[in-house]
Amino acid sequence: MMNGRVRDRILTTAAEIFHCPEQAVAQASALEDLPGWESIAHLNFILALEQEFGCTFTDLEVERLTSVPAIIDVIDGKQRG
Amino acid sequence: METDLKRMLEIAVAAGDKAAGVAALRRVFGDRPSLANAQLVLKHAKQLGGENAREEFKVAVLRAYTVEPMLPLLEAYAALAGLDLRVQVGEFNTYMQDILNPDSWLYSFLPRMIILAVQTRDLLPALCDRAAELTPADSNKLVDDALRQLRHLLDIVSSRCKASVIVPTLDIPPYPSAGILDAQAPWGQRAAIDAFNHGLREIAASATGVYVVDMEALAGRFGRSRWYDEQKWNMARLPFAADALPEIAREYFKYVHVLSGKLCKVVAVDLDNTIWGGIVGEDGMDGIQVGLDHRGAAYLQLQRVLLDIYHRGILLAICSKNNREEAMAVLEKHPRMLLRPSHFAAMRINWEDKARNLREIAAELNLGLDAIAFVDDNPAERDRVRQELPEVQVIELPDDPALYASTVAQCPYCERLSVSDEDRDRSRYYAQERQRRVAQLATNSLEDFYRSLKMDVEIGEATPESIPRIAQLTQKTNQFNVTTRRYSEQEITAMAQQTASRVYWLRSRDRFGDNGIVGVGIARLEGDTCTIDTLLLSCRVIGRTIETALLAEIATQARADGARYLEGRFVPTAKNAPAKDFYARHGFTRAEKDGNGASRWRLDLAQSVLNWPEWIDRAGVLQRS
Instruction: Name the least confident of B63-67, B283-287, B440-444, B618-622.
Output: B440-444
The complex's ipTM works out to 0.91
B115-127 mean pLDDT? 95
**Inter-chain residue contact B40 with A16, CB threshold 8 Å:** yes
Chain A residues within 8 A of B232 when measuring between CB atoms: 47
Q: Which of B69, B72, B235 sits opposite A59 (nearest CB)?
A: B235
**Inter-chain residue contact A44 with B236, CB threshold 8 Å:** no
pLDDT computed for residue B53 by the predictor: 60
pLDDT band at B619 (very low <50, low <70, confident <90, very high): confident
Q: Are B153 and B103 in contact (CB under 8 A)?
A: no
Q: Which of B40, B234, B242 sits opposite A51 (nearest CB)?
A: B242
Q: Are B601 and B584 in contact (CB under 8 A)?
A: yes
pLDDT computed for residue B513 by the predictor: 78
The percentage of residues in chain B with a pLDDT greater than 70, rounded to a whole number, is 95
Largest Cα separation within chain A, whole Å, is 34
pLDDT computed for residue B440 by the predictor: 64
Q: CA–CA separation, B86 vs B318, rounded Å?
A: 38
pLDDT band at B380 (very low <50, low <70, confident <90, very high): confident
Chain A nearest-CA residue for B228: A56
Q: What is the pLDDT of residues B316-373, one digit of tens each?
A: 999 999 989 999 999 999 999 999 998 999 999 998 889 999 999 999 888 999 999 9
Three-state SS string over B234-298 comes to: HHHCCCECHHHHHHHHHHHHHHHHHHCCCCCCEEEECCECCCEECCHHHHHHHHCECCCCCCHHH
pLDDT band at B623 (very low <50, low <70, confident <90, very high): very low
- The CA distances from residue A21 to A8, B9, B69, B518, in Å, are 12, 17, 21, 55
Q: What is the pLDDT of residues B134-149, one digit of tens each?
A: 999 999 999 999 999 9
pLDDT band at B213 (very low <50, low <70, confident <90, very high): very high
| Selection from B73, B23, B32 nearest residue B394 by Cα | B23
Q: Are B501 and B525 in contact (CB under 8 A)?
A: yes
Ordered domains of chain B (ranges, CATH): 1-53 (no CATH), 55-259 (3.40.50.1110), 266-414 (3.40.50.1000), 445-618 (3.40.630.30)
Q: CA–CA separation, B349 vs B530, rounded Å?
A: 50
pLDDT computed for residue A68 by the predictor: 95
pLDDT computed for residue B449 by the predictor: 74
A37-46 mean pLDDT? 94
CA angle B435, B438, B440 (to 5 degrees): 115
pLDDT band at B620 (very low <50, low <70, confident <90, very high): low
Q: Which of A12, A51, A59 sits opposite B243 (nearest CB)?
A: A51
Beta strands in B366-472 (DSSP E): 372-375, 393-395, 455-461
B48-63 mean pLDDT? 80
pLDDT at A1 over 50: no
pLDDT band at B591 (very low <50, low <70, confident <90, very high): confident
pLDDT at B249 over 70: yes
Measured between CB atoms, does A50 come within 8 Å of chain B?
yes
